[in-house]
Amino acid sequence: MKKFCVFACALIAALSAAFTGGCTKTESHRASYDISCEYSDGLLIGSETVSFYNFTENSFKCLKFNLYGNAFRKGAKYSPISEQYKRRAYYSGESYGETLVENVCSEGKELKFEVCGEDMNILKVELEKELFPEERAAVTIDFKVKLANVISRTGVNAETVNLGNFYPVLCGIENGAFYECVYYSSGDPFFSDCADYNVKFSVDNKFVVAASGETIDKTDSGNKAVYTFSLKNARSFALVISEKFNVITDVTTGVTINYYYYKDASPEKSLKTAVEAIKFFGETYGEYPYKTFSVVETKFIQGGMEYPGLVYVSDELEEAAYREVVVHETAHQWWMAVVGNNETECGFLDEGLAEYSVIVFYDAHKEYGFTREQLVSSCEKTYKNFCTVYDKLYGKKDTSMTRSLKDFSSEYEYVNIAYVKPCLMYDAVRTGMGDAKFFGCLKKYYSTYKFLNAAPQDLSGVFEKAGTGAQEILEAFFAGKEVM
């Protein structure tokens, strides 16, 4: 997710002058989702059949799913929206949503289930028999999602309906067990393994539908449109719908890049930026793996939000900031969608690389008006100001990067640790080892952990093999012991 404040100084100046768990690479070892759902008037009614392959060395008596929609329910322990954004997010006043699980079965037999977890955020399904390593189990879940009137990843707003994280999502595997995500308001509280998605989505045909995957089929039945989408080897699946969308498309990169917009006065420029970013990051890090990529203008409190094959960009941004968010969210296709990580425990891994990728992109595209030196200098000023503020407030500062979202005192702290500081870290490593070795290491990191989940030690381990001392710099930054 892009929290638009990292390069604010530079933009203003320019305008005025642990364990690597996770998905395997073979299709036979991935989970699969067959989702069928219908949306109408703030209610999503759906059914999904999820087939889970046990790639761990442990056995399971139950499967666990994240119910992200329950974060919006009345009485939730944790608010999905931070206090500073609540008034803007809940644009029409107090509003609630929730996920209701109606039935779970396997091969026609009903299974026992309960909604539990720290904040009623987990669906626990008891399997009929214990699932041993290299075995597969499939369950079918019937569910309803009531959407809040809220400008967020999931919710109804005045322009669009955002459907990120709308279905029960298998908990990611970490250390051989299911990891339960709590929906904290700071950062992106998500962690999942790759899976194959087949999604059938029914909606009033007045809506234009943007989706993570490739459109396999579309049929009309009365006033309903029924879409069939496919997405392979992805961590999640998202949709955005609107009656107001216009769509323009580019296929020059070999990827079908769609831009959905309703307010953007320069849509061709936005699409051009997305096309340039897909091409550049593909050349710099490794090939983009999906057939389509959708950039979607939508209502969103933060700058943007990433999903495999689809990203949100807030319609509230000015032109320069809008382009920056397009680049940042596109970079997440490499750092989150393909190379994953536990975003709840080490969000800096994907956010920091996505943010530094903006610097790399602008440095290679001088026509945007920003230089590497300018943007790194802006990061230095921002980070030093943060350290000064926290010294005064708390008498000390914790600048360690490897910590859970729950351990951040504010979004301000999270932005500086997960976005700003990593830019300084990567630039220091790049300066020390040179461009050829630096980008060689990132290519190696991408190819090694493609469709897997990486941990901080995996990243530093790739750099260690380059033999330049970069590992020590990275680990010092991770621990908050760097010398600036």
Give the pTM.
0.95
Give the per-residue SS3 of 9-42: HHHHHHHHCCCCCCCCCCHHHCEEEEEEEEEECC
Of the candidates 345, 81, 49, the one whose C-alpha atom is nearest the C-alpha of residue 168 is 49
pLDDT tens digits, residue range 291-320?
999 999 999 999 999 999 999 999 999 999
Q: Which residues of the chain have pLDDT under 70?
A: 3-26, 484
| Contacting residues for 114 by C-beta, under 8 A, at least 6 apart | 123, 124
- The pLDDT assigned to 27 comes to 74
Instruction: Name the burial class of residue 57, with classes exposed (0-12), middle (13-18) and buried (19+) by CB atoms within 10 angstroms of its CB.
Output: exposed
Distance (Å, rounded) from C-alpha 292 to C-alpha 257? 6
Of the candidates 53, 85, 80, 86, the one whose C-alpha atom is nearest the C-alpha of residue 66 is 80
Contact by Cβ (8 Å): 348, 422? yes
- The pLDDT assigned to 12 comes to 37
Q: How far is CA 105 from CA 49, 99, 120, 141, in A?
A: 9, 18, 21, 7
pLDDT tens digits, residue range 379-390?
999 999 999 998
Distance (Å, rounded) from C-alpha 266 to C-alpha 62? 50
Distance (Å, rounded) from C-alpha 300 to C-alpha 311? 11
Distance (Å, rounded) from C-alpha 232 to C-alpha 27? 9
